């Protein structure tokens, strides 16, 4: 896996002023944030998305609203209605881009679909939508944009897709398979387009991001409170897009890129600084269920940054030293071998003098039943008497 994670590297920045970037899914969320940030830096952006008018309060934002916001700040933007499943609409959108700006310097493939389900619970209409948006559309857009990218001095393709991990646990999810196809495209495009000087990279968030997908499908306001703002990913996207074109075929994590640029205080990008951050679905080990992926919380430091050597193995005292229910879940998630859970239980029992629940945890640990341990700890932390005793 090609990932930049050096904490001391300063990323070189090219001037994007006057360049034209075609951004899918830019009516809201990460795509909109990237469009606004690039426009602020002097780039001209094509806001390409399906939403032309608000018809669902759960999906706020339109392509026209994004363009209006950019123009109000003095930037230049073009609104293009685009269903990325429609080949003719893609052809028309690229043609409209060239007609308006006479050039195209970059494509940001951000539009996507998310359904966290295994084989038995995946509806084929959801399966088809994920692969149409997350996989097929990327090929269609890049193929149509390629003749114009070849004419650019600093052509870029950025896919919003995760690093690939070949642990079989990831491939349980149809969503993973569709997003990994986009990541494989990053590697394939980078190799094929290297002779043309077209840099192709992937970017992925380290934590949950406050988007409509998180609000509507991954826990609502409770998950949003554990998220970073879309502007964080936008800043990272800008830094990746402005690197030297020789840096290609790589997978970047947003926090690594932003920290490498010299920004040390990340706390302003957190939705709620009093809460821990929820690690993204693709960070860490493969979750067995959607619910397990929503329990991946970790406390950042005073600057809002997560541990650089994450994941960490816990010490028996970690639960006593970290506040909140999130610390309990963090400890459980971090333990690879359940041998350590017995000693952890004894330590907590001695400190807080609650024997019964922890004895049961130890018994379950001896049986090696990870799912039962997880379920029991969740139920224990929901019990008022235990929460009061542990000051959760």
User: Six-digit token pair at 22?
Assistant: 């075609």
Q: Measuring CA to CA, how many Å separate 384 from each of 68, 219, 361?
A: 50, 22, 18
Question: Which residues make beta-bridge pairs with 3?
Answer: 251
User: Six-digit token pair at 54?
Assistant: 């608000």
Measured between alpha carbons, how far is 142 from 179 in angstroms, rounded to an integer?
16
Measured between alpha carbons, how far is 61 from 114 in angstroms, rounded to an integer?
19
| Catalytic residue list contains 175 | yes
Grouping H, G, I as helix, E, B as strand and the rest as coil, residue 159 is strand
Q: Are 253 and 5 in contact (CB under 8 A)?
A: yes
Reference 23, options 129, 88, 115, 105; nearest CA is: 105
Where are the alpha helices (H) located in 194-301, listed in sequence order? 212-217, 221-224, 230-241, 254-260, 290-293
Grouping H, G, I as helix, E, B as strand and the rest as coil, residue 28 is coil
Measured between alpha carbons, how far is 73 from 186 in angstroms, rounded to an integer?
33
- Helix then strand then coil, in percent of the chain rounded to 5, is 50, 10, 40
Active-site residue among 21, 37, 115, 175? 175
Q: Are 231 and 33 in contact (CB under 8 A)?
A: yes
Where are the alpha helices (H) located in 102-209, listed in sequence order? 124-131, 137-149, 174-193
Which residues carry out catalysis? 175
């Amino acid at each position: 896996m090609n990932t930049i994670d050096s904490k001391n590297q300063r990323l070189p920045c090219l001037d994007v002023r006057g360049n034209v970037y075609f951004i899918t899914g830019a009516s809201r969320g990460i795509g909109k944030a990237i469009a606004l940030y690039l426009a602020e830096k002097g780039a001209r952006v094509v806001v390409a998305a399906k939403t032309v008018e608000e018809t669902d309060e759960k999906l706020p934002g339109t392509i026209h609203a994004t363009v209006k916001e950019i123009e109000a700040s003095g930037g230049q933007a073009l609104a293009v209605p685009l269903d990325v499943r429609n080949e003719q609409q893609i052809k028309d959108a690229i043609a409209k881009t060239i007609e308006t700006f006479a050039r195209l310097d970059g494509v940001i493939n951000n539009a996507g679909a998310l359904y966290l389900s295994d084989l038995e619970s995946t509806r084929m209409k959801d399966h088809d939508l994920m692969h149409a948006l997350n996989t097929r559309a990327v090929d269609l857009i890049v193929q149509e944009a390629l003749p114009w990218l070849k004419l650019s001095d600093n052509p870029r393709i950025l896919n919003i897709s995760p690093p690939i991990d070949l642990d079989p646990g990831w491939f349980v999810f149809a969503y993973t398979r569709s997003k990994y196809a986009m990541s494989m495209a990053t590697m394939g495009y980078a190799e094929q387009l290297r002779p043309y000087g077209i840099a192709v990279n992937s970017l992925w968030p380290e934590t949950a991001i406050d988007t409509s997908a998180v609000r509507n499908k991954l826990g609502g306001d409770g998950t949003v409170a554990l998220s970073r703002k879309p502007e964080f990913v936008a800043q990272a996207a800008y830094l990746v897009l402005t690197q030297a074109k020789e840096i290609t075929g790589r997978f970047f994590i947003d926090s690594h890129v932003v920290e490498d640029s010299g920004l040390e205080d990340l706390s302003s990008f957190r939705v709620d600084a009093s809460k821990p951050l929820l690690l993204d679905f693709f960070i860490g080990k493969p979750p067995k269920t959607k619910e397990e992926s929503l329990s991946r919380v970790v406390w950042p430091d005073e600057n809002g940054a997560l541990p650089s050597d994450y994941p960490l193995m816990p010490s028996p005292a970690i639960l006593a030293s970290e506040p909140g229910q999130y610390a309990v879940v963090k400890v459980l998630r971090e333990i690879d071998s359940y041998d350590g859970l017995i000693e952890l239980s004894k330590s907590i029992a001695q400190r807080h003098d609650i024997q019964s629940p922890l004895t049961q945890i130890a018994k379950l640990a001896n049986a090696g039943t990870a799912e039962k341990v997880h379920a029991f700890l969740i139920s224990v932390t929901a019990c008022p008497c235990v929460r009061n005793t542990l000051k959760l």
